[in-house]
A and B are shown apart, each in its own frame.
Chain A
């Protein structure tokens, strides 16, 4: 029997050693490529409206830059001379799953950088691990200001302005474009992004239009719950005339469809902070006259905007994927452009093939050109981007038989975001000093 035990343990040892050796023997990265994981929702309710368009936006721009076929200022081929090798990963399955997968991406697939993340939950949970594993991580879409206001990160950047900008721009747009708003209510998802979005919208409204009043029963259904009958009933029964929502993903489509059939949009004005994907996906079923934003100069808001980079992006995207680029396509592309700009800058500064620390110092505080506007890493010690945010009103374009937005107004970054060094809540409470729009 002892012999058997010994033989088996010997066998286990051999197998284990073999497994570990074969894993150690995986070939090192070729010197002229830079491996990046692009993480977005590829399954689940957020895949259609956000994940897949985001992934496609990144893929299109990465391929174009590798080939050197993008317009100025990104006409040079490669990222600081390196070819970028992208692998795509799924963001579904919860925060803990994302943390586990992040570790796999860095330690198993040995990526040089990770780019993406849509949910604020993913961003908040991945940032500490990025720090632990010392890996450059560029967040593309998530919005919670807590990411850089609660902590300082050395390895994490975010190319999307945070939720305060979206909320303040929403309040400014309501002040400038809508009459007769006396009372407002909200329906937001019960997690960091939804809670923050409502909180900042409420404070901004009180600062900008003090005569309005918030309803005392804002609704917070669970993220991805898909059924909003109770919340719609509750809001329909109160006397608010405007409803704020930061819904995104499949939830905004579900909400709009379920609310439309109950005449919701005839009774209430509706402002959607991040639901522009639904305008394209639902077509004529999306109610005209809704205020929508895209959290920046992205998507349907800049579809008619002139500019070589923007027009190239829209045409190339349509040619390759058959549909218009959505908000998240722009947001992911913006992260790729940030990486390109800093890797090129790193080469210009150091004259050598860019390395992690050089890219990070090049990216810190960088100003770069995005597809339809300029972006600068002004907040969070140079790690959090700021850019203008716009809103418009949905309408149907009969001529082209497609949805469009009218009365677009874009608010510059200094009007909607706190200056460096100031926390969002303090800035809002102080009456938004410096905001002169």
Chain B
């Protein structure tokens, strides 16, 4: 199984591409490095949403796990002073995974709009608690210090960049591994016909539940990495429903075609926003929204379909 995963074309391309990115990272100016880091980190949460989407589920509340991951990092530092990357990631992953596990028992019974709205409700509960509690930073949030690596405090962002790349590779391999497993093959079957899946002897609820936990954990790690690369957490940028909306936005923009799509979509989004913000400070939201509309009309299968199209064309020439 593992061997077949490593021979998988997508995984091999991903590893090569990310290695290349890691090398280019050495010479990239800081702002490109920063935006790529944000893009890759956010891509993890989008990858989780993509898993749900393939089953026909859209969550409007993944900012809950994104925010839990980010706040886990900030609160860990506030209460213990620890800024170690491993500790930060482990605690973010654990908190998001455990909460996802428990909420999953409720959410696995719902589909469609009910699933979307219920997850939205859960995320807004966290938002309300954070905003009202001064000990949790209220609307101001916290600053997050630079990440240390086993006690070593690097002078540049590059080690964090490398770590994010490594985490992304692990996540992509893991998700690919999951999709190739029996429970992963249920992904589209659940969307197409739940009753038939049950008659085949599988538990649909359990399949959805596992998927939900994976996506929650991915969103948690994503939030933690964003908090680390940004140096700030606050409810409006991490937990509010607009953040969930943004994640869904990127998911749709990327398209469901591949596990690589979320990262391409998310990096594109990050640069799009940066340039829109720079060129039209009065109307940057309009540019971002207009682009999504354009992509939905022109590329209903997302940015990935564009890459796929170019790829197959070239394949024919070859």
Known: A4-B315, A129-B231. A96 touches B141 (CB 8 A): yes
B residues neighboring A (CB under 8 Å): 9, 12-13, 16-17, 20-21, 23-24, 27-32, 34-35, 38, 131-132, 134, 138-141, 143, 146, 226, 230-234, 236-238, 240, 274, 277-278, 281-285, 315, 318
A175 to B285, CA, bound (A): 47
Residue contact B24 to A9, C-beta cutoff 8 Å: no
Q: How far apart are B143's CB and chain A's nearest CB, in angstroms?
A: 5
- Residues from chain A with a CB closer than 8 A to the CB of B318 are 4
Contact flags A1-44 to B (C-beta < 8 A → 1, else 0): 10011001100110011011001100000000000000000110
Known: A13-B24, A100-B38. A88 touches B281 (CB 8 A): yes
A259 within 8 A of partner (CB): no
A424 within 8 A of partner (CB): no
- Residues from chain A with a CB closer than 8 A to the CB of B27 are 17, 20, 24
Cross-chain pairs A/B with CB under 8 angstroms, 28 sampled = A4-B315, A5-B9, A9-B16, A20-B24, A20-B27, A43-B284, A90-B277, A90-B282, A93-B237, A94-B234, A95-B237, A96-B141, A96-B237, A100-B230, A103-B30, A103-B31, A104-B274, A104-B277, A108-B31, A108-B32, A124-B140, A125-B141, A128-B231, A129-B232, A132-B231, A191-B140, A222-B131, A223-B139
Q: How far apart are A3's CB and chain B's nearest CB, in angstroms?
A: 8
Within 8 A of B (CB), among A40-81: 42-43
Residue contact B34 to A190, C-beta cutoff 8 Å: no
A195 to B237, CA, bound (A): 21
* Secondary structure class of chain B's binding surface, majority of residues: helix
Residue contact A96 to B13, C-beta cutoff 8 Å: no
Q: How far apart are A44's CB and chain B's nearest CB, in angstroms?
A: 10
Within 8 A of B (CB), among A185-238: 190-192, 195, 222-223
A238 to B285, CA, bound (A): 43
A101 within 8 A of partner (CB): yes
A97 to B238, CA, bound (A): 10
A42 to B283, CA, bound (A): 9
Residue contact A107 to B34, C-beta cutoff 8 Å: yes
Q: How far apart are B152's CB and chain A's nearest CB, in angstroms?
A: 17
Residue contact B139 to A107, C-beta cutoff 8 Å: no
- Residues from chain B with a CB closer than 8 A to the CB of A42 are 281-282
Residue contact B230 to A99, C-beta cutoff 8 Å: yes
A128 to B230, CA, bound (A): 11
A97 to B242, CA, bound (A): 13
Residue contact A103 to B34, C-beta cutoff 8 Å: yes
- Residues from chain B with a CB closer than 8 A to the CB of A346 are none
Q: How far apart are B129's CB and chain A's nearest CB, in angstroms?
A: 13
* Secondary structure class of chain A's binding surface, majority of residues: helix
- Residues from chain B with a CB closer than 8 A to the CB of A404 are none
B13 contacts which of A8, A89, A93, A191 (Cβ < 8 Å)?
A8
- Residues from chain B with a CB closer than 8 A to the CB of A101 are 277
Nearest residue (CB) in B for A1 is B9
- Residues from chain B with a CB closer than 8 A to the CB of A350 are none
- Residues from chain A with a CB closer than 8 A to the CB of B284 are 43, 90
A109 within 8 A of partner (CB): yes
B34 contacts which of A88, A100, A120, A125 (Cβ < 8 Å)?
A100
Within 8 A of B (CB), among A96-127: 96-97, 99-101, 103-104, 107-109, 120-121, 124-125
A89 to B273, CA, bound (A): 13
Question: Which 10 residue pairs of A and B lie closest in terms of their CB atoms, listed nearest first?
Answer: A96-B237, A108-B31, A94-B237, A94-B236, A16-B24, A107-B31, A107-B30, A95-B234, A191-B139, A9-B16
